[in-house]
């Protein structure tokens, strides 16, 4: 019984609890969105297109260089924080939060 290898595969159709399934979907959406930003900042701006971004200046250094050495780290902190907050919201929505 081999199932297709897709995102939807990750939640089984025979799932006992439909609530748990949509919780998981919401979780995947948040994670997917944040990791897209993560990829663009780390690999897009800082590596693949660094020369193009370096033509824009921030202070005395190129923007690509700045993102590669500092900016990306600030973004990473933001992403982890947004994730924790967003998951709190989702937890509350699905009445799964440990505070509820």
Rg (CA), the chain: 19
Among 48, 56, 89, 93, contact with another protein (rule: CB under 8 A): 48
| 93 binds another protein, rule: CB under 8 A | no
Residue ranges binding another protein (CB under 8 A) = 1-3, 5, 9-10, 12, 15-16, 20, 23-24, 27, 31, 34-35, 38, 42-43, 46-48, 50-51, 54, 58-62, 64-66, 68-70, 72-74, 76-77, 79-81, 83-84, 87-88, 91, 96-99
């Amino acid at each position: 019984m081999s199932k297709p290898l897709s995102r939807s595969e990750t939640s089984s159709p025979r799932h006992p609890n439909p609530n748990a399934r949509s919780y998981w979907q919401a979780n995947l959406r948040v994670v997917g969105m944040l990791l897209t930003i993560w990829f663009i900042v780390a690999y897009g701006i800082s590596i693949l297109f660094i020369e193009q971004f370096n033509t824009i200046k921030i202070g005395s250094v190129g923007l690509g260089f700045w993102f590669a050495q500092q900016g990306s780290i600030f973004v990473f902190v933001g992403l982890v924080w947004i994730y924790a907050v967003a998951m709190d919201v989702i937890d509350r929505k699905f009445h799964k939060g440990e505070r509820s």
